[in-house]
Amino acid sequence: MALNVVIMAAGKGTRMHSATPKVLHKLAGRPLLQHVLDRVAPLAPVRCVVVTGHGAERVEQLVEKVVGGAGVCVRQEPQLGTGHAVQQTVPALDDAAETTLILNGDVPLIGSDTAAALAAAAGSQRLALLTVTLADATGYGRIVRDGESVRAIVEHKDATPEQRTIREVYTGMMAAPTALLKRWVMALTNDNAQREFYLTDIVAMAVADGVPVVATAAHDETEVLGVNSPAQLADLERRLQRRQAEALMNAGLRLMDPARFDLRGTLRHGRDVEIDVNCIFEGQVELGDEVRVGANCVIRNARIAAGAVIHPFTHIEGDGPGDKSVQVGASALVGPFARLRPGAVLGDEVHIGNFVEVKNSTLARGAKANHLAYLGDATVGARVNYGAGSITANYDGANKHRTVIGNDVHVGSNCVLVAPITIGDGATIGGGSTIAKDAPAGQLTVARAKQVSLAGWQRPKKSPK
């Protein structure tokens, strides 16, 4: 079935109290509108039309980024109601698509299967409405039935007291034959309390034309919840996170507390993986078998091999998926309070300890930097011991330079390795040294001032007041 999709994304979101257009507020790390666009993709529409308005340029940039040329944006200026919004899409709809599906850009969790079922219910001959039954239907348009047939949708502000007792409500999403939808929306009027063009008025038009009006029920309340305030966004965030956590636990992941877990991307995991509380996963993260992640870690775009332990309060910040991700080898130990930045690649059994930062550096098997150190733009050999307080001085104020440390090197505490520099295999760098020239293999290299003691020296004293 050829399909048009219309996504309503013109609203300002006054109750968000934000300069950011409502549909660009983020849920699980992605804009609300992006969630909807991603869920539409499996339906393979011939035309995806996004109605923009407030913050139109920013919204249109997102559409271009997510769907490229497959998306068409039309502007609704001014915003005169949902019917007026769909009127703006009429020239952009593909007449070859027999059905048009209308979704909301601030309802991010609509299931692809639900959207497909709604479109199928409409086909080329029916008007199909997506409904849900709520315990509290305040603010929603009520479904008025005559037996199984839908006769009307009455907006809350226009409903009678009796109609407001109805708990089956319209979700704001519908599907209709494209040709009929075009005719109906262009015939809308604004004869109502708000002087707006209501899309819901096409129900009465369908009834008058003898077109069947059917209702398709959503799976649950969560998939049709919209976002109009920070409180609603926070509620939906927790619902989504709980849903994601349950899916991961059903696949064998061990979460110490699913209520204190946030996934803002994708997480793949092996067997017997354990994650402690208050951890955030962003981008694309892969955890091998028996990986353990301590409390309060933030891990973005990383591949962590089997048996590795990420101790609490560690930050891992890959640049992107694949080769741009941070890589941690098997049985490595990282943290607590460590930071792995883009380009960090740790081999098997590497130890990165507390307050150690690694950026654009490769550490071979068994290398250790256990305390208070910085490794930037470095290639570190196997079994290196990198002392506390030592750094690679990789930046000369204009350009970055690389440090190469051979196998079995011992770098003492509080050393500065001024790049570009090479430390040969088996070399030892004496503590407190500033090394600006290559250090030969197998030798002790020391560069520090001679120690001097001054007899008779007295510590300064405070002057009397």
> What is the pLDDT averaged over residues 261-274?
98
Q: Is residue 230 part of a domain?
A: no
Is the domain of 152 the same as that of 268?
Answer: no
Largest CA distance in the chain: 109
How large is the C-alpha radius of gyration of the chain? 31
Residue 453 lies in a domain: no
One domain for residues 277 and 136: no
Which pLDDT tens digit goes with each residue over 386-430? Answer: 999 999 999 999 999 999 999 999 999 999 999 999 999 999 999
279 to 77, 292, 425: CA distances (angstroms): 43, 12, 39
Shared domain for 51 and 166, answered yes or no, is: yes
**Residue 127 is assigned to a structural domain of this protein:** yes
pLDDT reported for residue 157? 85
Alpha-carbon distance 258 to 269, whole Å? 16
Domain count within the chain: 2
Mean pLDDT of 180-188: 96
CA-closest candidate to residue 100, choices 72, 79, 78, 136: 72
Same domain, 20 and 115: yes
Same domain, 439 and 299: yes
What's the pLDDT tens digit per position in 106-164? 999 999 999 999 999 999 999 999 999 998 888 888 999 888 788 888 888 888 999 99
In sign, the C-alpha dihedral spanning 246, 248, 251, 257 is negative
CATH number of the domain residue 202 falls in: 3.90.550.10
Q: Domain span at residue 26?
A: 3-224
In this structure, is residue 183 part of a structural domain? Answer: yes
Residue 343 lies in a domain: yes
* Pair (91, 200) in one structural domain: yes
- What is the CATH classification number for the domain harbouring 335? 2.160.10.10
**Whether residue 154 is found in the same domain as residue 210:** yes
Report the pLDDT averaged over residues 430-436.
Answer: 96
pLDDT surpasses 80 at 1: no
Is 367 domain-assigned? yes
| DSSP per-residue letters across 191-244 | -STT----GGGHHHHHHHTT--EEEEE-S-SGGG----SHHHHHHHHHHHHHHH
411 or 459: whose pLDDT is higher? Answer: 411
Assigned domain for 451 exists: no
d(CA 452, CA 287): 53
- Residues 217 and 348 both lie in one domain: no
Say whether both 129 and 180 belong to one domain. Answer: yes
> What's the gap between Cα 83 and its chain centre?
32
Q: Which residues form the catalytic set?
A: 371
Residue 76 has pLDDT above 80, yes or no: yes
Q: What is the pLDDT of residue 417?
A: 98
Q: What is the mean pLDDT of the chain?
A: 95
What are the tokens at 364?
A: 């071979």
Residues 186 and 329 in one domain: no
Q: Do residue 214 and residue 285 come from a single domain?
A: no
Domain match, 183 and 301 both = no
Instruction: Indicate the pLDDT class of residue 222, thresholds 50, 70 and 90.
Output: very high
SS3 15: helix
List CB contacts of 255: < 8 A, sequence separation 6 or more: 245, 248, 249, 261, 275
Q: Contact at 8 Å (CB) between 321 and 284?
A: yes
- Whether 242 maps to a domain, the answer reads no
